[in-house]
Structure formats: structure tokens, C-alpha cells
Structure 1
Amino acid sequence: MDLRETELPGIGRKYSLITRSGEKLVIVVHNDERRDIFHMNPDEPDDMLSVATLDDEEARVVSAIIAGITYKPKFLENQEIALDSLIIEWIRLEPLSKCVGKRIGELDIRRTTGATILAVVGKDKTKHINPGAEYMFTAGLTLVVAGERMQLNLLKTLLLNGTL
């Protein structure tokens, strides 16, 4: 995710972000506590696809929903299982992940991060249990991985950036 913050004198503050999936959002927090959320066209940076304006209370409710404070889907409750210090987690590969087009062995994942890829689930729900070094990453895959928290954080960095 690419996040940029800009002061808007007399207005407030602007946050521009590009998500891992390539979506561009611009959020303006006005001095009067209004929030404008602009969804921009990724192909035409100055072309707005939609806008929503929220007051302070609405913005706080929406942020709690997005942060998972008010509701956590059952899938997410079961997504991470802690066994002492071992964690099993599901990681989705976004189109902008630098690992897309690379092979597991090319990234030397186990030696570099200490984490293990237990399985890969494709967009079409095909499953590859214990994929080998020749398995190539594509956008939209979901990886089932295991390791300690630090190892999984290293793995996420490696998958996103293509290097540590």
C-alpha cells in the first residue's frame, strides 16, 4: 500500500492511497470534521469514479466497521489459529504483489523467512497441498502458511516486495 499525506491549508488534511489491488482512494479530513472519500479511476488519476461525504460520527462508525471492531466475519475468526507460538494464516496475493510470476524456490521462502507454505488455493478453488519449489505465484491465490508471528511478517514482506 502506498500512502501519502498532504496538508491542505485552511481546509484540513488529504490522504492519498493506492491499495495492493491497485485501487486509488483520496480521503480529505476537513477542519470542520467532515470526511470526503474519493474513489479515483486508476487509469485516469484525475477522474473520480465516486465520492462519499461523512460527518464525524459517520466516519467513526465506518472506521470501526472497516477495522473489524463492530463485526468480525466467522471466516476471519477461524482464519488464524495459534498453537503455542505456531500460527496458521491465510494470505491472499494481490495483483501488485512483487512475488507474482515468481516460483517458491526462486524466493527461497523457507530458508529466508522460516515460514512454510502448507497449501495454495486458486481463484477457481483448486487446491495444491504442499506446493513444491517450482510452483509459480499468480495474482489472486490464497496461501495457507505456518510459522511464528515474526516469520509470517517476513513472509508477507517478501511476497509483497519480492525481496527482504
Structure 2
Amino acid sequence: MKVRETELPGIGHKAEMITRNNEKLAIITHDDGRREMYHFQEDDHGESISGILLNDEETRQIAAILGGMVYKLKAFETVEVAIDKLMIEWFKIEKNAPAVQQNIGDLSVRQYDQVTVIAIVRKSYEKMLNPEPETVIEEGDTLVISGERQEIKNLILKKLSS
């Protein structure tokens, strides 16, 4: 992700980020602790499509949520203890990723990568538990995959990310 930071004299600080989907997020941190957040569409970084003003307490709560400090997945509470190398990862399929329009079987994730796709959440929020090998992966899908850390990392780098 590209991040550009700018000092705003008399106001505070601005950070602008461009995501892999080419969406822009701008965060202005005021000297008094307030934060303004703006979201821009992928095809127009000039005009925001949404904005929100947060106080310092709200900002810290959101940071804790985003950083994973507030909510720990119930599955991890037992899985980490029982099988310390097994991981479950949520990975969003971006535009132009090699996996787009490929089916799970063609990617051979189980055979060569020792990783299992245990669920897919579509852009429409449709959930597919234990998808078949013939299931086609679409742009915007979030794959829920399980395996060992290094195997998941290899799969993401080789076959899922653009």
C-alpha cells in the first residue's frame, strides 16, 4: 500500500493511502485529537464518496478493532492451543489476481500447496462453506483458507495476489 504523509501547519497531519484496489483513504489528524477520514472511489481520487469525523476515544477504539486487539476469533482460541502451526486466513481476491475465473481444483491448492479453502464469501455476502473443487473464484471473493503459516503465505504469493 502506498502511503503519503503531509504536515498541515496549524491543523495537524494528513495521511493518504492507496489500496491494492486503487481506492484512496485520507485521514486528517487534528492537533486537538479529532480525526477526519475520507474514502475515495478507485476511479476518482479527487472527490470523496464518504467521510466521517471521530473524536480521540472513537479513533482509538477503531484502531483496536482494526488491529485485532478487541476481537479474537473464537476458532483461534482453541486451534492455537491444540495445533500451534495451523492457521486460518481470510484473503480477499483483488482485481487482476491470477486466481480470478479459475476454479479451486485447477489451482491445486490442496495437492501442491497443502492448504484447504474452507469457505468463500462472495462480494454479495453469499457464503459458500466447504466449496467444491469446481467452484470458480471471482474478483472480490474472500477466501477462508487453512494450513500452516508458510504454506498459506506461499499460496497467496504464487496464486492469489496480483
Distance (Å, rounded) in 2 between the aligned partners of 1:94 and 1:56? 33
Distance (Å, rounded) in 1 between the aligned partners of 2:71 and 2:84? 26
TM-score, scaled relative to structure 1: 0.67
Aligned residues with identical type, % of pairs: 29
Distance (Å, rounded) in 2 between the aligned partners of 1:115 and 1:53? 45
| Aligned match for 1:131, one of 125, 133, 143 | 133
Post-superposition offset of 1:22:
5.3
TM-score, scaled relative to structure 2: 0.67
Moved over 6 A (4+): none
Post-superposition offset of 1:130:
5.8
Say which SS state the counterpart of residue 46 (structure 1) adopts.
strand
Does residue 157 (structure 1) correspond to residue 154 (structure 2)? The answer is no
Match of 2:116 in 1: 117
Question: Is 60-69 or 78-87 further displaced after alignment?
Answer: 78-87
Residue-pair matches, total: 155
Alignment of 1:10-25 (within 5 A): 10=9, 11-20=11-20, 23-25=23-25
Distance (Å, rounded) in 2 between the aligned partners of 1:128 and 1:24? 34
Match of 2:75 in 1: 78
Call closer, same or farther: CA 1:127–1:56 in 2, change over 3 Å: closer
- For the aligned residue pairs, the C-alpha RMSD in angstroms reads 3.4
Post-superposition offset of 1:26:
0.9
Contact 2:115 2:148 in 1 (8 A): no
Does residue 26 (structure 1) correspond to residue 26 (structure 2)? The answer is yes
Post-superposition offset of 1:127:
5.0
Amino acid of the structure 1 residue aligned with 2:93: E
Contact 2:95 2:140 in 1 (8 A): no
